[in-house]
Structure 1
């Protein structure tokens, strides 16, 4: 056995020992990850990966995660309807089951006891519908509510993603009587309003993404002795493409926001684009006025 192989095995053994005897080293940091993900929906995917892969330290739970598969057909709609008082009884106390709700849907998260059980990093989600807190990061009692009125587009997209996460990784067992469902489990007007908010937010994001692809951001650098320079490349703005583009000031429709954008020749006449002073029209790099 060569030295490199021996070293690799030693590192693997050490990592295994740490994971087995001190799983809380990782677990104790998860609340911070959730706080950041809640406030910045773009990080939701990262938290879901972390949550899914670290959800339990027991062999049974690891097996459950490994056996998860994409549903081959639409899940059966549960018929049980909880009142808020009934749901509050499922917080995992004395080894009992743990349920939580998001947007009126109740999920059994018992196998995530390390997270949702008493003393867990997300125990505040158990026994309630804390939909709003999933995207605001306000985990105080007044923030753990089901009312999602007046949130921003990114928040609604974040809620949609969280609901998808629980639907995929946990069992959907019932509905909560309240804003989203009535006492018979039927959808309310508020439910349909919320679906419309999410639909509009998703549509808005798609439009934003298309706009960013049409007008990617410029590269920019600043040197005290020279000032700022903006320029375009085939990767500027994080948009890989087969064209470079010309740097222009891009104004929002209300002219309140301005940024540098790379525009193709065919789009240079767009009314939202303005040339930079003293910069040739066909230049791919411009020095900005000091």
Structure 2
């Protein structure tokens, strides 16, 4: 079982798991036609060696024919340890020892689960899906186990968090920053700062996030309505997001300056 802590987290995963199940029922993860079910011992025969019936690997219980990438997975190749088994954990940890080439993904973080999701997307796009492995992630009838449902729930929650983080970054792009022993530090905003292209520049502000030890510098829009302004909201003050409660000014920096310098 996945080692997850906190009642709130479990409730969140339960909701996400329900969404995953609903998605399955709606056909978003519809059944594959003509896929095989493998037991691990059978899959182990598919290592691409002389006399082997093929070259397969599995990820989160899904089996892919990687024969077209033989030079990466055949015996003695760099990733040969992945062939003929489900080594999901090693895709994240990089541990290619026998102890690390396992399908146990318990204890992995949300971001690590998203890494597995990225790898899964890679294999879906580049290789042929051929079946499922009976065991940790799929039952003998080919249906998902509770552990796979937990993994998919974590991936769903991680994708939602990434989406929210991207939305937040569009609202409060990170500042440009530099430091030198001669001039001290400088923070400034531009129309490309933080990798966010926009039609406004903004001014540096401290953004305080719940749980963060220190605030970080973001660029804040100074004109127009607040980002969360609704049509039926009271008239705005044409100050953009400057009045957001999680923001603070930098001491010694003019409130509307696009550059803040802090000499040594």
Correspondent of 1:83 among 24, 39, 61: 39
Kindly indicate whether the alpha-carbon contact (under 8 Å) linking 1:253 and 1:272 is maintained by their aligned counterparts in 2.
Answer: no
Three-state SS of the structure 2 residue aligned to 1:180 is coil
1:78 and 1:104 mapped to 2: Cα distance?
16
Residue 78 of structure 1 and its aligned partner are, at CA, apart by: 3.7
Map 1:144-155 to 2 at 5 A. Answer: 144-155=101-112
2:94 and 2:212 mapped to 1: Cα distance?
32
2:177 paired residue number: 220
Map 1:84-233 to 2 at 5 A. Answer: 84-96=40-52, 97-233=54-190
Residue 209 of structure 1 and its aligned partner are, at CA, apart by: 1.0
Map 1:242-257 to 2 at 5 A. Answer: 242-257=199-214
1:213 and 1:257 mapped to 2: Cα distance?
21
Three-state SS of the structure 2 residue aligned to 1:146 is coil
Three-state SS of the structure 1 residue aligned to 2:50 is helix
2:170 and 2:176 mapped to 1: Cα distance?
15
2:145 and 2:68 mapped to 1: Cα distance?
31
Deviations 1:52-83 (A, max 9, x none): xxxxxxxxxxxxxxxxxxxxxx8833442111
The one of the two structures with greater contact order (alpha-carbon pairs below 8 A, sep at least 6) is 2
Cα separation, partners in 2 of 1:139 and 1:78, compared to 1, 3 Å = farther
Kindly indicate whether the alpha-carbon contact (under 8 Å) linking 1:230 and 1:285 is maintained by their aligned counterparts in 2.
Answer: yes
Residue 187 of structure 1 and its aligned partner are, at CA, apart by: 1.3
Residue 245 of structure 1 and its aligned partner are, at CA, apart by: 0.5
Correspondent of 1:259 among 186, 191, 216: 216
2:175 and 2:243 mapped to 1: Cα distance?
18
Residue 207 of structure 1 and its aligned partner are, at CA, apart by: 0.7
- Root-mean-square deviation (CA, aligned residues, Å) is 1.7
Matched, 1:279 2:235: no
Cα separation, partners in 2 of 1:109 and 1:255, compared to 1, 3 Å = closer
Residue 289 of structure 1 and its aligned partner are, at CA, apart by: 6.2
Kindly indicate whether the alpha-carbon contact (under 8 Å) linking 2:176 and 2:187 is maintained by their aligned counterparts in 1.
Answer: yes
TM norm structure 2? 0.77
TM norm structure 1? 0.71
Cα separation, partners in 2 of 1:201 and 1:240, compared to 1, 3 Å = same
Deviations 1:115-149 (A, max 9, x none): 11111111000011011111221111121111222
2:49 and 2:67 mapped to 1: Cα distance?
11
Kindly indicate whether the alpha-carbon contact (under 8 Å) linking 2:183 and 2:263 is maintained by their aligned counterparts in 1.
Answer: no
Q: Give 5+ residue unaligned stretches, structure 1.
A: 1-73
1:233 and 1:79 mapped to 2: Cα distance?
52
